[in-house]
Amino acid sequence: MSASQLRLSSHILKEHYGEIVEKVGLNILRKGWTTIASIKQDTGLAISKIKKSICILIQHNLVKFQKNARGQVTYSAQISNILTIHQYPKLTYCAKVTFGDAAELIIEELLHHGSMTMSSIVANVTNRLLDPALSQSEQIDYEHVANQFVELVKGHLIKRSLGDEIMVISKGTEEAKLDVVRANDMEYDLPLGYITSASGKRKAVSNNDGPAAKKRKSSNEQVSIDFKDADMLWKVNILQFYHHLVNELIENAVRNRLDEFAAEIVKVMLKLTILTRDGFSPQTKPVSVYEIDERLSDSSEIDSDEIAQYLNLLQDDEVGFVSKVGENSGGLYVVNIKKSMEAICVQTIESVVRERCGSKSMRIFKLLLLKQHLEQKQVEDLIMVPAKEAKELLYNLLSEKFINLQEVPRATDYAPSRTFYLFSVNISQVCRMLLDRSYKTLSNLICRRHHETEEQRRLVEKSEKINAAILALKSQGMDNDSPAVQEMEEMMTDQEKQQLTKLKTVLSK
């Protein structure tokens, strides 16, 4: 955990949950596993406020807890989940592209509330989709939203919050393993009150007093739903969303390197294995040519022979997107996720080097990647650049931490005249450095946004009051040309309008 990660986590918690939650969360991050008494001693906050803050963090899956051998409940923050908060818009967009608008709102509700029951989610989303302009027959009903919810569960994008992160140390190892297995088996079980009929229609179980989902008499009446699932909470499966985002990156990389048909083949292979992928596994499960051909037969004009040729092309490529692991069913192939992501990382780093240091520096970087270890004289000869310029470029890359310098002495006295100075590239180290810089940049942007907003707070409040007054006048039947509306608009001077436009431009970056 770096200082940049801690600083960014602090800003994110403060922005989304307030100062008190930020203090408690930051203390848990710094201490690791800690107790409420220790948090009170460090922060000086009241016990009631600390408990409420921890409840909020647990509700949003940002803190986990366990009971230690002494019987004390200790808490630990999940920094990866905290840093994922700024990627929530990307997750909702992924759900929208994959399943539709209702799925986007379902994910948005879950991300906003942390954990919810299926009944609450379906009711909230259905009410948000109500459109008074549409007739009752054209309105989106709760069954459509429930179907989208089930599709998200089948895609493992949401799962039940079973408390599988809770560990009780006093339990035996075998008993703890059995608990984890049971929890994994139940992660995607739907409520008993939600019945799948033989025709495929899904409905809520009704009780003796009336139907579970009350039909509204008018388009403005709110929907209430009860699937008898008060004790069954659901949360977003962040890891599965990462799988979807990784799939998209690999598909785009194959498309840019080869063509659209190759990207379609890789897309099918990734889609067939996404539900069986284990965490951050280096490759997918094996997929046969017959399975790929069956999936592509309806949507593409490629035949089985062309599929085999494309798979061989992907296998022979220097990146190694695909590998053959067997001869069964026309051939078994896997997608090398680790190798593909390494190639994508290298391409991204090369782009950063070119933007920060220039095209010649990028040539040196690519040369060191290819040759691994080179002296300064060898670099000068191979990239055909004058000695003075090559030296300047090399040490600029070294100061930016894109390359490393290793001393290899020929004698025990480490005399400079009898020492080799070798330049090399460590991709893992460069990735961590760029990631840390990204965290620092994001923290600086949040700070700058707060500063700009505080400086122009009076102007923003004035603009909001004027806009509210104009909307109130328009609701009374006045148009933009009416004297009252024009008078309200003239309350903002040209200079204030320019300042407000400048503020919006800064905040949109």
**Residue ranges of the chain that CATH labels 1.10.10.10:** 3-78, 86-160, 241-339, 358-425
Q: What average pLDDT score do residues 391-404 get?
A: 89
What confidence score (pLDDT) does residue 69 get?
82
The terminus-to-terminus CA distance of the chain in angstroms comes to 27
Structurally, what CATH architecture does the domain formed by 86-160 represent? Answer: Orthogonal Bundle (1.10)
50 alpha-carbon distance from chain centroid: 28
| pLDDT(504) > 80 | no
- 182-186, 217-221, 414-418: which is most confident: 414-418
> What residues does 333 pair with on adjacent strands?
287, 324
What is 358-425's CATH number? 1.10.10.10
Rounded Cα gap, residues 450 and 496, in angstroms: 19
Contact 121, 109 (CB under 8 A): yes
Q: Give the mean pLDDT of the chain.
A: 81
pLDDT tier at 138 (50, 70, 90 boundaries)? low
Rounded Cα gap, residues 349 and 476, in angstroms: 57
Contact 115, 234 (CB under 8 A): yes
| DSSP designation for 416 | G
Lowest mean pLDDT, pick from 197-201, 318-322, 351-355, 362-366: 197-201
- In this structure, which topology does domain 3-78 adopt according to CATH? Arc Repressor Mutant, subunit A (1.10.10)
Rounded Cα gap, residues 355 and 362, in angstroms: 9
Lowest mean pLDDT, pick from 154-163, 171-180, 241-250: 171-180
Q: What average pLDDT score do residues 135-155 get?
A: 76
Q: What average pLDDT score do residues 20-37 get?
A: 90
Q: What burial letters (b/e) apply to 432-452, b meaning 16+ CB within 10 Å?
A: eebeeeebbebbeebeebeee
Rounded Cα gap, residues 365 and 354, in angstroms: 9
Task: For 76-114, write each residue's pLDDT tens digit.
Answer: 988 989 999 988 999 999 999 988 888 899 999 999 998
What confidence score (pLDDT) does residue 52 get?
93
| pLDDT(179) > 90 | no
Task: For 65-78, write each residue's pLDDT tens digit.
Answer: 888 888 888 999 88
Rounded Cα gap, residues 450 and 65, in angstroms: 32
348: left (phi over 0), alpha (psi -120 to 50) or beta: alpha
DSSP conformation letters of 136-198 = TTTSPPHHHHHHHHHHHHHTTSEEE---TT-EETTS-HHHHHHHHHHHHHHTTPPPTTEEE-T
What confidence score (pLDDT) does residue 170 get?
41
Q: What average pLDDT score do residues 283-307 get?
A: 80
| pLDDT(212) > 60 | no
Contact 111, 150 (CB under 8 A): no
Lowest mean pLDDT, pick from 83-87, 174-178, 234-238, 310-314: 174-178
Polymer length in residues for the chain: 509
Higher pLDDT, 339 or 204: 339
What is 241-339's CATH number? 1.10.10.10
Lowest mean pLDDT, pick from 27-31, 397-401, 415-419: 415-419
What confidence score (pLDDT) does residue 92 get?
92
Contact 331, 311 (CB under 8 A): yes
